Amino acid sequence: MLGVALAFPMAARADTLWLSSTGGNLLELGDVKINGIADGAVQFESAGRNTSRPLEQIARMTVDDSPDFSAAETAFSAGKFDAAITAYRAALAATSKPWLKIRASER
């Protein structure tokens, strides 16, 4: 069984950030790992390097292990605020990540 697991490694899961730009288009940063929110910025790892972006630049996030939060962010960005509220509440109830609770409660 271990040989099968080694032959077919699991795909790495990753978070995604969408950054606001001056032209109105969103810049997608995929394959990142969000580590937290501190000092008004999202802290994350990208290509093996730790970096951050100010919260006001973050238009949307998806989090690999929080489908409720990801659904809430998608609904929020689409202007579906009732669906977003419901999904943010579910994310708040399901997560143990303090930074995710901050983002969900502020939205």
Model confidence pLDDT, tens digit, residues 44-93 = 999 999 999 999 999 999 999 999 999 999 999 999 999 999 999 999 99
How does pLDDT run across 21-30, given as a tens digit for each residue? 877 789 999 9
Assigned token pair, 41: 């910025």
d(CA 103, CA 38): 11
pTM over 0.85, yes/no:
no
Q: Is the pLDDT of residue 12 over 80?
A: no
DSSP state of 16: E
Residue 5 has pLDDT above 50, yes or no: no
Nearest to 76 by CA among 86, 67, 66, 90: 86
